[in-house]
Amino acid sequence: MVKNQDRFGAQLVAGTTRYAEDAHGPTIRPKGLNNWVLNLTLRGHGRINPGPGEFLAETGDVLLFPPQVRHDYAHAPQAAGWTHVWIYFSPGGNLAPLLKWPARGEGVLGFRLVDPTARRNVRAAMEKCLALYSSPHRNRLAFCANALDEALLWCDTQNPFANGSGGDERVDRAVAYLLKHFAENPDAAALARECHLSVSRFAHLFRETTGTSPLRYLENLRIWRAQEMLIGTSRSIKEISQSVGFADPLYFSKAFRRKAGVGPRDFRKQSRQA
């Protein structure tokens, strides 16, 4: 068990942890760490922060633990093990825009890398950072920082908050509402009320700060969720299209291809070959 470890005493540390497989006990840091931790699950299931905000980390999930956020994790009881690669880092100003991720629970941020190419590239960048960290090269930490940048940039291609809100709390609320209600056909009036703005002012502010319209942002969220379901379930494409809010499966396929570059059937096939 790793307990009450409040600081690593370094600007960047990288490693791989295998729970259960090597009898590694739970990691418990009630006050977290002084800097950020990026975590990618390679295999198995991790149980994160028991309590009201508990959740499971599964293969392809990336997590961010901000400073002073509780760390209490181990492999899930029903899982044979949990393997993840991680990087502890102090972000420079250039990384700040890449650290605006959806909340998972108990202050932890994260999402799933549903695109196989992005997942491979994030893993490769993080493992490159780990190899460099363990090397004797005199510039190893500078190379590690470059690899970390690469990993976060690839994460950003899959981040549902990638367009950002420009730090505007009103748009943050609208995005959080969309993440929760994306399958329910939320209209502009409901989103505007969430932000305490008129419909016209909300539409202008949303486009100004995210670079896209609320309708297109909603569609992107639905495609993102559909990608997760195509990889993680055996449900039919028609069932998935309806569950994420598309009444017309044909339009869903067209929208999916426009966003992902391939149709949903080919996306599922490619993900299983990755």
Q: Are residues 117 and 186 in the same domain?
A: no
User: Over the chain, what is the mean pLDDT?
Assistant: 84
Shared-domain flag, residues 115 and 19? yes
d(CA 216, CA 224): 12
The residue out of 135, 156, 177 marking a domain boundary is 156
Q: Which residues pair with 62 in a beta bridge?
A: 40, 111
| Residues 69 and 186 reside in one and the same domain | no
Residue 163 lies in a domain: no
**Do 147 and 210 lie in a common domain?**
no
Characterize 243-263 residue by residue with b for buried, 16 or more Cβ atoms within 10 angstroms of its Cβ, and e for exposed. ebbbeebeebbebbeebbeee
Domain that holds residue 248: 169-273
Q: Residue 105 is inside which H or E element, if any?
A: strand 103-105
CATH number (domain holding residue 10)? 2.60.120.280
Per the domain annotation, does 162 fall within a domain? no
What does the alpha-carbon distance between residue 174 and residue 180 come to, in Å, rounded to a whole number?
10
Binning pLDDT at 50, 70 and 90, where does residue 4 land?
very low
- Report DSSP letters for 125-163, one per residue: HHHHHHHHHTS--TTHHHHHHHHHHHHHHHHHTT-TTTT
Domain end marker among 112, 134, 156: 156
Between the alpha carbon of residue 254 and those of residues 35, 68, 228, 260, 264, the distances in Å are 42, 44, 18, 10, 9
Residue 164 domain-assigned (yes or no): no
Domain endpoint, select from 101, 128, 156:
156
Residue type, 242: Q
Structural domains counted in the chain:
2
The structure's pTM equals 0.64
The CATH number that applies at residue 194 is 1.10.10.60
48 domain residue, yes or no: yes
Residues 113 and 33 in one domain: yes
The C-alpha atoms of residue 207 and residue 188 are separated, in whole angstroms, by: 13
Same domain, 7 and 142: yes
Question: Does 167 have pLDDT greater than 70?
Answer: no
Are 149 and 24 part of one and the same domain?
yes
Residues 6+ apart with CB under 8 A from 230: 114, 237, 240, 264, 267, 268, 271
Residues 132 and 195 in one domain: no
Tens digit of each residue's pLDDT (9 = 90 or more) over 127-161: 999 999 888 888 888 999 999 999 999 999 888 77
What mean pLDDT comes out for the span 153-170? Answer: 75
Q: Is the pLDDT of residue 223 over 90?
A: no
With residue 271 as reference, give the H or E element that holds it.
helix 264-273
- Please check whether residues 139 and 252 belong to one and the same domain: no
41 within domain boundaries: yes
Q: How far apart are CA 69 and CA 107, in angstroms?
A: 6
pLDDT one-digit tens code per residue, 68-106: 899 999 888 777 789 999 999 988 767 888 888 877 878
74 and 130 part of one domain = yes
Query: 155-158: long-range contacts at Cβ-Cβ below 8 A with a sequence spacing of 24 or more?
Result: 155/62, 155/98, 155/113, 155/118, 155/122, 156/98, 157/115, 157/118, 158/111, 158/112, 158/113, 158/114, 158/115, 158/118, 158/224
